[in-house]
């Protein structure tokens, strides 16, 4: 870890940490996450882990960038309302001392609260922009979990070292999520081919309809990336099992993807399927859950999927389960951002994301040749690039 910057601004309410893991290959590139953490220590651990993942992701993808991450830990709404401000839970008018709980007053209270929150959020991200500007380009941020193009616009008021602002390709129509999903899809196809699935031999499964006919994929998490992945899989004829903690997302998937089945999000990893695709938060693969897997491939979009890495890796190897390293598979987003920064359009970006198939094949080859786990093979590939100082090594 090269640098850890703590950002505290009492005026705006900003509480954040910026983790710069490496700038060996170029400026650190990585999104800004806004999430509710139990403590500052938890937020810092998350930032450090995610920043390292971005370094390795850029390295294996041949990008001239290092890895970094900004984490803003969200403050519950009731804590950002100043003492004396209107609260929707207090229906007494302090001046008149009477009940003003009619519908209009409630609507006004709600509007005031929403306006206050929006104003405070804008101030928070603009303040973060000032911290970024002081780094003189060592770190470039962008969209991530819990942040929006409007947040990036506020950062842009203070620094040019930000992507995914309004009007950019990365902020339009979930393009970054779409490219991340496309990269995961290419990785699933590559993994199936690696296991010798006859139906895929000689077929361009990235273009062909029904190329994955009859192959069951369990997708955990139906956010932007997970849902887009389901679209690719369904179009290719895969049979879907889906799960999410938000019931409406599941219902939407069941309606759109004919033949899809739902599962409990806490137990979908144990579904009888060919591919398990974790696309929610990290840490889903534990020593206990690995013993319950009924798939032959784990390939998903979630970051930091391995909890207790060595035990989990050994467990999957012992059971003959092929693991597609997460930071290789989910690099579509960072590839998209990196090439947009160079002026590339959507067609070229999509071609570059398709290159994940070649990178993953290289990882699998290193693992077999060196008798390594695929997780260790991916690390070896990334570290060789970092040691050379050349992203195209």
Point out the residues that are catalytic: 69
Cα gap 105→119, rounded to integer Å: 21
Cα gap 181→222, rounded to integer Å: 11
Closest CA to 39 of 20, 18, 15, 19: 15
């Amino acid at each position: 870890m090269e640098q850890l910057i703590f950002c505290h601004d009492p005026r705006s309410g900003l509480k954040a940490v910026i983790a710069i893991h490496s700038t060996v290959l170029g400026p650190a590139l990585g999104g800004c996450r806004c999430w509710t953490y139990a403590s500052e220590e938890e937020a810092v651990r998350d930032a450090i882990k995610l920043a390292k993942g971005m370094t390795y992701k850029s390295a294996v993808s041949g990008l001239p960038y290092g890895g970094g991450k900004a984490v803003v830990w969200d403050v519950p709404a009731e804590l950002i309302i100043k003492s004396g401000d209107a609260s929707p839970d207090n229906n007494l008018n302090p001046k008149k001392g009477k009940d003003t709980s009619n519908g209009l007053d409630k609507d006004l209270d709600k509007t005031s609260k929403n306006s206050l929150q929006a104003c405070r959020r804008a101030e928070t991200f603009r303040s973060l922009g000032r911290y970024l500007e002081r780094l003189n380009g060592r770190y470039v941020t962008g969209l991530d979990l819990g942040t929006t193009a409007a947040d990036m616009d506020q950062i842009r008021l203070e620094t040019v070292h930000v992507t995914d602002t309004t009007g950019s390709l990365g902020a339009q129509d979930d393009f970054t999520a779409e490219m991340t999903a496309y990269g995961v899809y290419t990785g699933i196809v590559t993994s199936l081919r690696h296991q010798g699935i006859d139906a895929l031999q000689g077929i361009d499964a990235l273009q062909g309809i029904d190329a994955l006919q009859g192959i069951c994929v369990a997708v955990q998490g139906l956010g932007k990336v997970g849902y887009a992945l389901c679209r690719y899989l369904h179009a290719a004829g895969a049979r879907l099992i889906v799960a999410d903690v938000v019931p409406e997302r599941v219902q939407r998937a069941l309606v759109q993807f004919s033949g899809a089945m739902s599962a409990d999000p806490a137990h979908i990893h144990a579904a009888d399927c060919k591919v398990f695709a974790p696309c929610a938060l990290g840490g889903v693969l534990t020593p206990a859950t690995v013993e319950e897997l009924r798939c032959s491939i784990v390939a998903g979009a979630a970051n930091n999927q391995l909890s207790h890495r060595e035990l989990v890796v050994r467990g999957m190897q012992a059971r003959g389960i092929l693991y597609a390293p997460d930071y290789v598979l989910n690099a579509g987003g960072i590839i998209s951002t990196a090439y947009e920064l160079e002026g590339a359009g959507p067609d070229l970006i999509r071609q570059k994301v398709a290159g994940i198939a070649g990178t993953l094949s290289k990882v699998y080859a290193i693992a077999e040749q060196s008798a390594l786990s695929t997780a260790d093979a991916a690390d070896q590939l990334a570290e060789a690039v970092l040691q050379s100082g050349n992203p195209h090594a």
